[in-house]
Amino acid sequence: LEQPGGCCYRNARRINRWLRLNLREEAMAAKVNGKAAAPAKEKEEEPSFYEDEENLKKLCDFLRSTEGPAVREAIEMDKRVYYLKGEKLVNFLVEPKKGTKWPASLPRFEDRQAAIAVCRDLCRLQFMHRSEKEGKGELSVSRVRDFDESGYFTWMYEGDKTFSHFMTTLLIGGFLFCTCFPIWPNFLKVFVWYLSVSLLLFIFFLITIRALLFLFVWIIGFECWFLPNLFDESLGFVDSFKPVFSFEKTAPGQLPYRFGVAVAFFSFCWWAVTQPSEFDGFIAAQGDFISDLYQGKLLSDMSQQDKEDIDKPKMPSLEDLMEMDSEDPDEDEMNEEEKLDSLLDNLMDEEEDIDEDEE
């Protein structure tokens, strides 16, 4: 091996050269791979857009707007709240409903995992909390805090307060305006009177027609309600008008009741038709009542002047004061004494007549 011209010496030089070439190639490859991995590492370490709490607020403002997912109303801890299912929220984030205008300032979600991660952040930062259903329209706070697509989540974030403050100011102004009713001009009082009477009649006829429609359909074996949730106190204003109609088959065992109600109702209709004079008088009386209601003539024992002066302070006139001064209390006392003397004289005369008859 020590001989420069030997075979082993030449092989050793070849092996050494091959090792140096391999080491040089590996170094160059490591250098290239290092340059390529650096941007990827920086990209992984770059924070997500929704990791910023302010950006989450922008997302919640969009979700709580009319463009956001549909929510339901319920009562939780004696307070009206809005809730939705976790699966519907994730589906909306991944694939919004048709016609939704997604804000240009908010990036879209590429997959369900990214949407679920953001929903977990919403629960962690208390933009919403998990709830449990206790009954129809009733919720309770769940002990489980983690996000799950199968759970129900109640919004704690109320969004922009501008509209709420505006409505509160409008409510206070309306209240103060109503308290000043005594100093309203006459034409405004008449307008409010007509509006109140019209609203009262509308509600009366709505309830009557609604009940008659249910009665007619119930007699033939079905339950049909117009605005079935109209008087449901657990629902909001808009939900009270949904659905417009409900049509279901009656429960079994109601045939005798339906037959009895049908006989009573049609008997009343037959009586009303065969008694035209009384029925016509009833219709005329109702027409007069509505006419008097609009004209303000229900208080018939009050003069028109008293109606017009109903808001004015009651002050005695000069004639009333003069009559009060002209009254003499001594004259009243003398009149009472004279009446008493006359009564005693009559009694004595009757006793004398009785004595004479006995003799």
pLDDT for 290-333, tens place per residue?
A: 777 776 665 444 455 565 666 666 666 667 767 766 655 555 55
Look at residue 328 in the predicted model and tell me its pLDDT.
52
| Under-50 pLDDT residues of the chain | 1-5, 35-46, 299-302
Query: Strands, E, within the chain: which ranges?
Result: 72-76, 80-85, 128-135, 138-141, 152-155, 222-226, 245-249
- DSSP string over 77-136: SSSEEEEEEHHHHHHHHHSPPTT----TTSPPP-SHHHHHHHHHHHHHTTSEEEEEEEET
Q: How far apart (Å, rounded) are the C-alpha atoms in residues 129 and 142?
A: 8
- At 267 the three-state DSSP class reads helix
Query: Strands, E, within 222-333: which ranges?
Result: 222-226, 245-249
Cα-to-chain-centroid distance, residue 236: 3
Q: How far apart (Å, rounded) are the C-alpha atoms in residues 346 and 339?
A: 11
Look at residue 44 in the predicted model and tell me its pLDDT.
42
Look at residue 285 in the predicted model and tell me its pLDDT.
75
Residue 226 bridge partners (DSSP): 245
Look at residue 325 in the predicted model and tell me its pLDDT.
64
Look at residue 305 in the predicted model and tell me its pLDDT.
58
Q: How far apart (Å, rounded) are the C-alpha atoms in residues 141 and 75?
A: 11
Whether residue 245 contacts residue 226, with contact meaning beta carbons closer than 8 Å, is answered with: yes
Look at residue 235 in the predicted model and tell me its pLDDT.
75
Whether residue 130 contacts residue 144, with contact meaning beta carbons closer than 8 Å, is answered with: yes
Q: What is the pTM of this model?
A: 0.43
Could you read off the pLDDT of 245-263 as tens digits, one per residue?
888 888 888 888 888 888 9
* Tokens of residue 358, six digits: 């006995």
Q: How far apart (Å, rounded) are the C-alpha atoms in residues 290 and 202?
A: 12
Q: How far apart (Å, rounded) are the C-alpha atoms in residues 188 and 174?
A: 14
Look at residue 184 in the predicted model and tell me its pLDDT.
86
Look at residue 250 in the predicted model and tell me its pLDDT.
85
**302: DSSP letter:** S
**50: DSSP letter:** G
Look at residue 42 in the predicted model and tell me its pLDDT.
38
